[in-house]
Amino acid sequence: MPDPRTILESRHLSVFGKRIHDANLWHLNRRSASGAVAVGFFVAYMPPFAHMLVAAALAIALRVNLPVTLAAVWLNNPLTLAPISYSAYAVGSLVMGVRPKGFDLDFWIDPHNWLGVLTPFLIGSLVCALLCAALGYFGVQALWRWTLRREIARRRQRYQQMRAQVIAAALVSAPVVSTPSSNRQT
């Protein structure tokens, strides 16, 4: 893992100036992680243009975890670019009420057809980006809370077991003396 100072002093990040030194960009908490996943997923569904730079700028502006944002952007990678783009086009076509074209390679390679699919693609990208960002945000929130509740239950159970062991040890080691509780019983 690289040293944080090395990352902060990188010439590639100097574009963001002093804002890159904000501690909120590097701390991991529920708000920061869920926001970072939402930003990353949103940018991942946008048309492929400088995803990492746009995601970093949004993470800095919204003050969410920068490394998580940049990792979430990689939902859209060379292996997933075609399925994500086609699904965005199909969703946009459905929203516009247009029948989507099938995945015919000759149709998609021809630049004359690109203008006709651009509007459904952009609308579908926006719809998918908003949906995916919302799912990512609420999914991380739910997962974080579930993990926290599970950890609290484990701690509570561990505390109760320790307490029971202490009480049992105290009862075993305490001498049992059968003395009367008052003078009248003697």
> pLDDT tens across 111-164, in order?
887 788 888 999 999 999 999 999 999 999 999 999 999 999 999 999 999 888
At how many degrees (to 10) do helices 30-44 and 66-73 cross? Answer: 30
- Indicate whether 81 pLDDT > 70: yes
Q: How confident is the model over 27-33, as a mean pLDDT?
A: 90
Distance CA 122, CA 111 (A): 17
- Indicate whether 24 pLDDT > 60: yes
> pLDDT tens across 168-179, in order?
887 777 665 666
Retrieve residue 160's tokens.
């109760």
Q: Tell me if the pTM is above 0.85.
A: no
Residue whose structure tokens are 């989507």: 100
pLDDT band at 183 (very low <50, low <70, confident <90, very high): low
In the chain, the N- to C-terminal Cα span, in Å, equals: 76
Residue type (1 letter), 157: Q
